[in-house]
Amino acid sequence: MGSQRILVGVSGGIAAYKVCEVVSAMAQAEAEVRVILTQSAQAFVSELTFSTLARQPAYTDADFWTARPRPLHIELGEWADVCLLAPLTANTLGKLAVGQADNLLTNTILASTCPVLLAPAMNTDMWQQAAVQRSWQQLQLDSRYHAIGPGAGRLACDRVGPGRMAEPSEMLTFLTSLSYTGGQRDLAGKQLLISTGGTREPIDPVRFIGNPATGRMGIALAQAARHRGAQVTLVHGPLEAELLQQLGGICAIAAPTAAAMAQAMLGHQPQADWVIMAAAVADVRPARVAATKLPKSELPSDLPLEPVPDIVAALATARQPQQLIVGFAAQTGEIVPPAKAKLIRKGLDAIVANPVDRPSSGFGSNQTQAVLIDRAGRQRISPPGSKLELAHRLYDFLRDLA
């Protein structure tokens, strides 16, 4: 996120305290961050707090009316690469929907041309009012505006329902995508089917054969695709709760075993334009599964195994004319030759060869690197970076193939 110029607009809601974490994280990632607070926002978090976290001045309406060489709202609007409005209250939402500008924040948004991420937060009854929903739908007709949330949960008023602002981690991920794409929705109209995570092949009800895959790569693929306008179905193995919380707007289907994953992937394949098999599916499974927990003394010293059907090969065999089938090859040592062989052997359109034996590039890491290879043998290096960056680079690569 470094070198990006991000403008954060804070309206008056209790969720403003969460925005402190967002601003702090962006500043620590070496982005330039400036904050505008509405008058009511200052009742929840102070100007001093945000200026300290951002390492930059924070602005209020008092600054709006101060004499300057150039109008402040024009200067800030031209400066920003991306804007975040969080929390977006019903008041600020209504103003923007009709083009009203009566404070520094709304004037600055109207004076800018960059993408704007909207993170609404309000009481459930307020959110569900017909007037608020009309404003929400009206604003999203403008391609500049991108929506995140709101989610459902317990609100500050103790009501349980929709209206909860997106979590800081979700906003940071979306802002990273907008910084990469400039807000372009170049995957709009596409249906993506993605698998992720490891599978667990049971020995008995409490024991299984598994692997250390966390599903982070597939989640990054799903998020990046959604941020670029695609409809996404994510078939996943067991995931940590914190990762499941990052799937807003994504159709998620749990598939803990290879058999369940094969059924889900093949069942949803006909509707997909791009099919990406990022899951770490088991190669073998126990030949027999005990119906009840085996006592330790009865565990077999030699565990009979059988091969697991090859899901990505089956997907390639069943491909539709418009589909791209993409695989992943997690490798140690030399990564390209075995990945190219896998691509040819399984009839794929492209493959992502990534090392799992290099620092900050293995299972569970938020960082990775890869070589992208297509069926014609063309290669593109994705240098070390976040898994979200790799996801975007893969979509750029696939877009050139399609």
- Residue pLDDT, tens place only, 39-53: 999 999 999 999 999
Do 236 and 328 lie in one domain? The reply is yes
CB atoms within 10 A of CB 113: 10
Provide the token pair at 215. Answer: 């599903």
Do 264 and 177 lie in one domain? The reply is no
Do 164 and 195 lie in one domain? The reply is no
Compute the distance between CA of residue 201 and CA of residue 345 in angstroms, rounded to an integer: 25
Domain count, the chain: 2
Do 177 and 196 lie in one domain? The reply is no
Is-contact 126 132, C-beta < 8 A? yes
Compute the distance between CA of residue 57 and CA of residue 69 in angstroms, rounded to an integer: 17
| CATH number of the CATH domain containing 47 | 3.40.50.1950
Contacts of 283 (CB under 8 A, 6+ apart): 307, 308
Is-contact 379 371, C-beta < 8 A? yes
Do 301 and 358 lie in one domain? The reply is yes
Do 141 and 234 lie in one domain? The reply is no
Compute the distance between CA of residue 151 and CA of residue 143 in angstroms, rounded to an integer: 22
- Choosing from 160, 181, 202, the residue where a domain stops is 181
Which pLDDT score is estimated for 397? 96
Task: Tell me the whole-structure pTM to 2 decimals.
Answer: 0.92
The annotated binding site for CTP is made up of 283, 293, 309-312, 328, 342, 346
| CATH number of the CATH domain containing 279 | 3.40.50.10300
Do 117 and 31 lie in one domain? The reply is yes
Looking only at the bridges linking them, the beta strands covering 191-196 and 274-277 are: parallel
Which pLDDT score is estimated for 163? 84
- Choosing from 161, 181, 201, the residue where a domain stops is 181
Do 17 and 101 lie in one domain? The reply is yes
Which pLDDT score is estimated for 153? 78
Compute the distance between CA of residue 259 and CA of residue 276 in angstroms, rounded to an integer: 17
In a domain, residue 243? The reply is yes
Compute the distance between CA of residue 129 and CA of residue 122 in angstroms, rounded to an integer: 11
DSSP annotation of 41: G
Which pLDDT score is estimated for 258? 96
Give whole-number Cα distances, 145 to 16, 78, 115, 229, 286, in Å.
20, 17, 6, 12, 50
Compute the distance between CA of residue 314 and CA of residue 307 in angstroms, rounded to an integer: 14
Question: What is the residue-level pLDDT of the chain in tens, covering all 402 positions?
Answer: 657 999 999 999 999 999 999 999 999 999 999 999 999 999 999 999 999 999 999 999 999 988 788 899 999 999 999 999 999 999 999 999 999 999 999 999 999 999 999 999 999 999 999 999 999 999 999 999 999 989 887 777 777 788 889 999 999 999 999 999 999 999 999 999 999 999 999 999 999 999 888 999 999 999 999 999 999 999 999 999 888 888 888 999 999 999 999 999 999 999 999 999 999 999 999 999 999 999 988 888 889 999 999 999 999 999 988 899 999 998 888 899 999 999 999 999 999 999 888 776 667 778 899 999 999 999 999 999 999 999 999 999 999 886
Which pLDDT score is estimated for 158? 77
In a domain, residue 186? The reply is no
In a domain, residue 277? The reply is yes
Contacts of 99 (CB under 8 A, 6+ apart): 110
Catalytic residue numbers?
A: 157
Consecutive H or E run containing 153: strand 151-154
Which stretches of 167-229 are assigned E, i.e. beta strand? 191-196, 201-204, 207-209
Do 166 and 258 lie in one domain? The reply is no
Peptide linkage before 115 cis (omega within 30 of 0): no
In a domain, residue 84? The reply is yes
Do 168 and 216 lie in one domain? The reply is no
Scanning the structure block, which residue is given the tokens 């309206």?
11
In a domain, residue 154? The reply is yes
- Choosing from 181, 203, 232, the residue where a domain stops is 181
Compute the distance between CA of residue 363 and CA of residue 310 in angstroms, rounded to an integer: 21
In a domain, residue 374? The reply is yes
Consecutive H or E run containing 197: none
Which stretches of 198-338 are assigned E, i.e. beta strand? 201-204, 207-209, 231-236, 251-254, 274-277, 284-286, 305-307, 324-331
Do 284 and 338 lie in one domain? The reply is yes
Do 220 and 345 lie in one domain? The reply is yes
Using CA atoms of 103, 109, 112, 118 in order, give the dihedral in degrees to the nearest 10: 160
Scanning the structure block, which residue is given the tokens 């024991």?
207
Provide the token pair at 55. Answer: 């390492």
Is-contact 384 373, C-beta < 8 A? no
Which pLDDT score is estimated for 362? 66
* Domain encompassing residue 270: 191-401
In a domain, residue 321? The reply is yes
Exposure letters 220-254 (e unless 16+ CB within 10 A, then b): bbbbbbbbbbbbbbbbbbbbeeebeebbbebebbe
Exposure letters 115-154 (e unless 16+ CB within 10 A, then b): bbbbbbbbbbebbeeeebeebbeebeeeeebbbbbbeeee
Helix 16-28 crosses helix 168-181 at what angle (to 10 degrees)? 50
The annotated binding site is made up of 283, 293, 309-312, 328, 342, 346
CB atoms within 10 A of CB 345: 11
